[in-house]
Structure 1
Amino acid sequence: MLEKTRPKVLFFDVNETLLDLTEMKATVSTALHGRDDLLSLWFTTMLHYSLVTSASGHYEHFGHIGAAALQMVAANNGITISEKHARETIGKSLSALPAHPDVKPALAALKDAGYTLVSFTNSSNQGVKNQFEYAGLTDFFDERLSVEDVGKFKPFSDTYAWAARKMNATPEECMLIAAHGWDVAGALWAGWRAAFVSRPGQQPFLLAPQTELAEPDLKKIAEHLIAYK
């Protein structure tokens, strides 16, 4: 039977979970000469090399990795993008993303219900600050955590352990809410609880433990959590 007690802290992934990436994808597509078919490859290449960076004991801003991935995917498809253009494309697009329509009502309801809300992202500290200011999300959160401060990207278990310590919580007291199968898988394997937001095009990792909650939007996730004892 699933645990129905309240988590001490709710951690939220940011990109795609809270923020709508539609406008960013359009900007990246323009840089790739309208090749919408390359967007998924670009995003998975960015994630791949963030893991390569962490596994090798290094750290680089997520946006810079995204820019490098953009140049790599472009080059493999006969498109030339300079480092300056790639960084400007990713930097500007990541900082000007609106929240999904369900996000603010869900966060407000969870905050009113007494939950501690923490954002937990692979983006840099300045990056998420800019994102939240643009999207109007700053006041909903008790804390903003970026992997920049630990130097290792999610889904490394060390990174979830660091975030739990930052909030004076045990892993069992933490719940990650995210729209990425790799992220909720990492949290579960680190001993956390997890809720999966099945945004369009997102699927849980079938070899990972099942998440405690899985709903198509944050409002439904919030309704479940508010009913917890």
Structure 2
Amino acid sequence: MPLKACIFDAYGTLFDVSAAAREAAGEPGRERLASVWPALAEDWRRKQLEYSWLRAITGAHCDFWQVTQDGLDWALEAQGLTDPALRDRLLQLYRELSAYPEVPAMLKALRTQGRRTGILSNGSEGMLADAVRSAGIGDLLDVVLSVDRVGVFKPASRVYDLVGQALSLDPGEILFVSSNGWDAASARSYGFSTAWVNRQGVPMDRLPGQPDYVLSDLSGIPDIED
């Protein structure tokens, strides 16, 4: 079945989730952060995801911005960083994350091919609006879909349902792209064709679904035809 749309996870896929800690670490007076920022960024992202999974399982849903703050608080404490101004700065930068360098050209190529494009993310509608605006890619997206609409985080099937509802397409007509192996696998089990962007070269998750394509970055997405 021809692929008529390409839908992307946001954080870690289109937007560089390490950018906030990396940029803050380069600012004057951030010497302590500069020595630990990679570990902080990794802990922040890991806890953000873990908390989203646990909230999905227990039914204790909340705004993803709260999950993001909770993950950061854990990561800061783990590194012994207690400066409230640093916390505020990191959260500010997270609302303005950089897109990966290949993103604009990749999205333009998809649009030239006549494919619809969009985002499906755990991020709240406000977070996604800020990120899309900061990256300057709003005119390259047909839809930006947040789990806010269903009140549960991925990989709940109700989240993936949002894509077909918004675009009036069957799952087999959609390529779903994520940098999270678990997300790509779950979306494949749901019925999407999926591409896993494995930037770190980590092993594939042992899950029922397996992604159809594995790429090191997003530049090859327009070459996927069916």
TM-score band by shorter chain is 0.7 to 0.9
Mapped contact 1:8–1:174 kept (Cα < 8 A): yes
The structural deviation recorded for 1:217 is 2.1
- 2:14 corresponds to which letter in structure 1? L
Question: Does 2:59 correspond to 1:57?
Answer: yes
Distance 2:173 2:125 in 1: 24
Identity of matched residues, %: 26
Alignment correspondent of 1:6: 2
Alignment of 1:65-80 (within 5 A): 65-80=67-82
Distance 2:80 2:95 in 1: 28
The structural deviation recorded for 1:206 is 3.5
The structural deviation recorded for 1:190 is 1.6
Distance 2:83 2:208 in 1: 37
Per-residue displacement from partner, 1:194-227 (whole Å, max 9, x unpaired)?
Answer: 01122236553143433222222222121223xx
Distance 1:164 1:205 in 2: 26
Alignment correspondent of 1:21: 17
- 2:46 corresponds to which letter in structure 1? T
Match of 1:45 among 40, 44, 47: 47
Distance 1:76 1:98 in 2: 25
Distance 1:123 1:224 in 2: 26
Distance 1:24 1:198 in 2: 20
TM-score, length basis structure 1: 0.84
Q: Which deviates more, 209-218 or 128-137?
A: 209-218
Number of aligned residue pairs: 220
What is the alpha-carbon root mean square deviation over aligned residues? 2.5
Question: Does 2:153 correspond to 1:153?
Answer: yes
Alignment correspondent of 2:194: 194
Distance 1:55 1:31 in 2: 39
The structural deviation recorded for 1:110 is 0.7
The structural deviation recorded for 1:90 is 4.6
The structural deviation recorded for 1:162 is 3.0
The structural deviation recorded for 1:46 is 1.0
